[in-house]
Chains A and B, each alone.
Chain A
Amino acid sequence: MKIPRLLQAVLVLAGVYFGFIIVFDVILGAVIPASLLAMYMFFTTAGVFMVFTYDEDQTRELVAPIKALVEDPSKRLWRNIVFAIVPLAAGGFTYVQMQPSFEAPLELRTIHPAPPSTAKIYGKRVNLLKLENPLRKIEKEDPEKFRELVNQGAAVYIQNCQYCHGDKLDGNGLYAAGLNPTPLNFQDVGTIAQLQESYLFWRISTGGPGLPKEAAPWISSMPVWQNFLKEDEIWKVILYLYDYTGHRPRSWEHE
Chain B
Amino acid sequence: MMDRGSIRTVLIPVFAASFVVLSFGQAMAKDGDGDKGEAIYAKRCLQCHGEEGDGLGPAAERLNPPPRDFTLGLYKFQSSAFDADLPNDDDLFRMVRDGMPGTAMPGWGDMLSEQDMWDVIAYIKRFAELEGTPEKQIDYGSQVQSSPESVAAGKKLFLADDRCSECHGVEGRGDAIKKLKNDNGERTWPRNLTKPWTYRASNDPKDIFTRISAGIPTTQMPSFADPKSKKKLSIEERWHVANYVASLPKTEKVVRPENTVIKAVRVENELPTSPDDPAWDKASPTTFFMLSQIVGKERFFKAANDTISVRALYNGDKIGIRLEWDDRTKSIPGDAKAESIAEGELLEDAVAVQFPVKIPTGMEKPYFLMGDAAKPVTLWRWSSGTTEEAESAAILDAEGIDQQETRDAAAGFTAKGSYKAGTWRAIMTRPLRTEAADKDLQFEEGRFIPVAFFAWDGSNGEVGTRHAMTTWYWLLLKPSTGAKPIIFAVIVALLIGGVLVWWARSAAARSRSAAS
Q: Which of B104, B375, B488, B511 contacts A94 (CB 8 A)?
A: B488
Among the stretches A51-59, A95-103, A133-141, the one at the interface with B is A95-103
Q: Which of B375, B470, B488 contacts A218 (CB 8 A)?
A: B375
Nearest chain B residue, comparing its CB with the CB of A155: B58
Asked whether, in the complex, the Cβ of A94 is within 8 Å of the Cβ of B485, the reply is yes
Complex Cα spacing A237 to B301, Å: 20
Residue B508 lies at the interface, judged by CB distance under 8 Å to chain A: yes
Residue A44 lies at the interface, judged by CB distance under 8 Å to chain B: no
Residue A182 lies at the interface, judged by CB distance under 8 Å to chain B: yes
Asked whether, in the complex, the Cβ of A105 is within 8 Å of the Cβ of B292, the reply is no
Asked whether, in the complex, the Cβ of A94 is within 8 Å of the Cβ of B489, the reply is yes
Residue B62 lies at the interface, judged by CB distance under 8 Å to chain A: yes
Nearest chain B residue, comparing its CB with the CB of A30: B3
Q: Which of A100, A190, A213, A218 contacts B446 (CB 8 A)?
A: A100
Q: Which of A99, A107, A175 contacts B485 (CB 8 A)?
A: A99
Complex Cα spacing A71 to B296, Å: 76
The residues of B that contact A86 with a CB separation of less than 8 Å are 496-497, 500
Residue B474 lies at the interface, judged by CB distance under 8 Å to chain A: yes
Complex Cα spacing A221 to B295, Å: 7
The residues of A that contact B58 with a CB separation of less than 8 Å are 155, 158-159
If the complex has contacts A98-B488, A104-B261, A158-B47, are A221 and B4 also in contact, measured as CB distance less than 8 A? no
| Count of chain A residues near B, Cβ 8 A | 58
If the complex has contacts A99-B485, A219-B471, are A87 and B494 also in contact, measured as CB distance less than 8 A? yes
If the complex has contacts A158-B47, A168-B106, are A213 and B470 also in contact, measured as CB distance less than 8 A? no
Asked whether, in the complex, the Cβ of B493 is within 8 Å of the Cβ of A87, the reply is yes
Complex Cα spacing A163 to B446, Å: 36
Q: Which of B110, B375, B471, B510 contacts A179 (CB 8 A)?
A: B471
Shortest Cβ gap from A211 to chain B (Å): 11
Interface residues on B, range: 35 or more
Q: Which of B261, B296, B485 contacts A223 (CB 8 A)?
A: B296
Residue A21 lies at the interface, judged by CB distance under 8 Å to chain B: no
Complex Cα spacing A240 to B289, Å: 29
Complex Cα spacing A71 to B111, Å: 72
The residues of A that contact B497 with a CB separation of less than 8 Å are 83, 86-87
Asked whether, in the complex, the Cβ of A105 is within 8 Å of the Cβ of B448, the reply is yes
Residues 162-195 (chain A) with a chain B CB within 8 angstroms: 162-164, 166-168, 170-172, 174-175, 177-180, 182, 185, 188, 190
Q: Which of A87, A172, A175 contacts B106 (CB 8 A)?
A: A172
Asked whether, in the complex, the Cβ of A167 is within 8 Å of the Cβ of B106, the reply is yes
Asked whether, in the complex, the Cβ of B493 is within 8 Å of the Cβ of A90, the reply is yes
Among the stretches B200-208, B238-246, B363-371, B455-463, the one at the interface with A is B363-371
Residues 26-49 (chain B) with a chain A CB within 8 angstroms: 43-44, 47-48
Q: Which of A88, A171, A185 contacts B493 (CB 8 A)?
A: A88
Most buried by A among B486, B493, B504: B493
Interface residues of chain A, those whose CB is within 8 Å of chain B, are 29, 70-71, 73, 79, 83, 86-88, 90-92, 94-95, 98-100, 102, 104-105, 107-108, 111, 154-155, 157-159, 162-164, 166-168, 170-172, 174-175, 177-180, 182, 185, 188, 190, 209, 213, 216-219, 221, 223, 227-228, 244
Q: List 8 A-B contacts (CB under 8 A).
A: A70-B507, A88-B493, A90-B496, A108-B363, A157-B47, A158-B59, A168-B44, A221-B471
Query: 7 nearest interchain CB pairs?
Result: A91-B493, A178-B289, A98-B485, A87-B497, A175-B291, A95-B489, A155-B58
